[in-house]
Chains A and B, each alone.
Chain A
Amino acid sequence: MSSVQQVLAAGPGALNRLRRSVWRRPRHGPELAWAIAFVVPYAAVFLAFVVYPVAYGLWMARDPSLYRELIANPLYAQTVVNTALFVGLGVNVKMFLALLLSGFFMRRRWWIKALLPVYILPWALPSIPAFVSFHWMLIGEEGFVDSVLSAVLGIAGPLWFRDRWLALGANIVAYIWKWMPFWTLTFYAGRTAIPQEIYEAAAVDGASGYRRFAHVILPLLGNLYLVCTLLSTLWTIGDFTTVSLVSEGAPSYSTDVLATLGIHYAFEGAQPALGVAAVMSALPVLIPIVILLMRALQTRETQL
């Protein structure tokens, strides 16, 4: 950090003289060749592991009758609803809570600072053991949650994975538990980058609490929030681990999402083309999100 601050402290003023002479360098030449050489490793990864498999996948799922077969199965509509709920609720609740909690962690109390490392633990904990633990916690009356309910409140807890909505809720809660710390940390980082003077000016003008949040924090962090939400939505639509380990699609495939359905079809049902078709059917949603994301990143660059 300090090295960066030194760089910044030196400032561009002293170096302005250099700029002019440098800009007159020929536009093409060894530098462009070098630049391309630097991009080659990533370009190779991109071509071999993104472009080729995507093209291959689209080719596998090229037959329109696959999509008719897919939609004819009532399981598909149910899965789409599940995916929309899982992603819509999961991402938005997680992001909003993360934004609020990042403000809480800005408070200068030693016990709040001490909480931060513990709070981040779910992100550092690998998802497989964490979600397996969630599964056993909710397994029924022998599970930890129901045991606590009966020991403390004296009530019999529900059978979480026998009910579609409870199981879906369990998936969403486990997902939020796992990923909220990462985004809280990102927003926390974003908040610390806001100059202290802005908070002070707002305090002088009498803005505090809700008004400070609405008129100071949101405008400054709005675009960051948008970018993070879009990115997280893209990642969550493809999330296989949560549902496959927490509810396992129970009861009887009624909590499956597109990612788990596609993999069921491809590897357990031995219908790879149908599996690809199931997951590719999300493309009409995914592509607009990517375009929005690119535009949101673009505005950020022009702002500064």
Chain B
Amino acid sequence: MSLARVSGGSVLRTRSRLRRVLIEVSSLVLVVALLVWSLTPVYNMLLIALDPDEGDIEFEGIIWPPNPSLHSFHAVVTQGYWLVEDFWRQFGNSFFIGLMTMFLTVLIGSLASFALGRTRLRQSWLLANAPLVTYAVPTSFLVIPFTRLMASYDLSNTLWAIVAANVTFAAPYAILILRQYATLIPIELDQAAWVDGASPVQVYRRIYLPLMTPALAAVGTFALLLAWNEYVYQYVLLSSTRNMTVAVAIAQFFNSDEAPLNYMMAAALIYSLPPIVIFYALRRYMAAGLTRGALKG
């Protein structure tokens, strides 16, 4: 009797151990699959960029670079080819657009979310939802009237036109996330400050902004990545080489038949570095910012 129970227990134990091993093995398999999934396109970029041939590239069905060379990176960095002759200027343009979008989205978004969440205006359902209306007309849809508009605002072929478009589309999401995160900060804190005679600007600067740091970092990263990912407005609105961004320059390579692909991929890899660095630097804040905003309505 007792023997049977013991053996039954050990069968159960081996079975549960088997199950645990199975779970570990399958999650290892999943990890490897996700690694391959995430890295294959990046590996493909490296494969093409490391090809030493200048000019026309012939793929020979390679899956491993036969004689890797950093020649194409060197050519891009020293602007040694006509399609990359303005590379650093274009890189600067991309930076300007990215950082301005980040800064203005955080500034305008935090001001608006402060007004909509912490003042008398918070009762206003209409005002709170107005930003979302923006998404009823997605980005690439607006670009056609936008080009006409930019001519009338005298902003055609300027970087500010791109910044304006980016801020327009990043701000509603920013306001949404910031308002949700702000529900975590007790309104009583503000009220205590009002009683002490603080001005709205002081409440915003001394209480709201410091306590909102994680959400502001999350929203700022979002805006930066939106600007770095954005293509259609840059493609349509920026026409001169000097005002072009790296994104458009890469796409230009893409449309030109004789363009050396290894230079394009080298430029693309260099272009990818800044957001990756900034992203990983802000990642810790970012998770916290999204966390709280995510579940607490």
Contacts and interface: CB of A to CB of B under 8 A. Distances in A.
A137 B251 CA distance: 16
A213 interface: no
B135 A121 contact: no
B134 A50 contact: yes
B31 interface: yes
A283 B250 contact: no
A299 B297 CA distance: 8
B136 A290 contact: yes
B188 A19 contact: yes
Given A39-B116, A133-B265, A266-B144, A128 B37 contact: no
Contact of B296 (A193, A240, A282): A193
B33 to A, nearest CB: 11
B120 A31 contact: yes
A93 B291 CA distance: 23
B92 interface: no
Interface string B43-84: 111011000000000111111000000000000000000000
A35 interface: yes
Given A46-B134, A241-B232, A177 B37 contact: yes
Interface residues of B, number: 116
A280 to B, nearest CB: 7
A151 interface: yes
B210 A186 contact: no
B268 to A, nearest CB: 3
B88 interface: no
B265 A104 contact: no
A49 interface: yes
A210 interface: no
A42 B145 contact: no
A132 B184 contact: no
Nearest to B289: A189
Given A151-B61, A234-B135, A300-B297, A263 B41 contact: no
Interface of B is mostly: helix
Contact of A129 (B175, B185, B272, B287): B272
Contact of A4 (B125, B254, B276, B292): B292
B211 A7 contact: yes
Interface in A29-55: 31-32, 34-36, 38-39, 41-42, 45-46, 48-50, 52-54
B12 interface: no
Interface stretch (A65-73, A142-150, A161-169, A199-207): A142-150
A39 to B, nearest CB: 5
Contact of A239 (B135, B140, B176, B261): B140
Nearest to A41: B108
Contacts of B59: 139, 142-143, 147
Contacts of A132: 250-251, 254, 264-265, 268
A131 to B, nearest CB: 9
B109 interface: yes
A174 B216 CA distance: 29
Nearest to B35: A118
- Counting chain A residues whose Cβ lies within 8 A of the other chain, the interface size class is 35 or more
Most A CB contacts (10 A, CB to CB) among B47, B60, B175 go to: B47
Contact of B34 (A31, A115, A235): A115
A41 B236 CA distance: 26
B198 to A, nearest CB: 11
A115 B289 CA distance: 21
B271 interface: yes
Contacts of A139: 59
A193 B295 contact: yes
A35 B111 CA distance: 9
Contacts of B199: 34
B22 interface: no
B220 to A, nearest CB: 14
B144 A241 contact: no
B275 A126 contact: yes
Given A259-B141, A290-B135, A49 B111 contact: no
B139 interface: yes
A136 B48 contact: yes
Interface string B19-43: 0000000011011001101111111
For the complex of A and B, 4 pairs with smallest distance between CB atoms: A238-B138, A142-B59, A300-B297, A129-B268
12 contacts: A18-B195, A35-B119, A38-B204, A50-B133, A101-B34, A118-B35, A130-B41, A151-B61, A189-B291, A189-B294, A192-B291, A241-B232
Given A46-B134, A118-B38, 5 more contacts: A4-B292, A115-B31, A132-B264, A133-B41, A299-B297
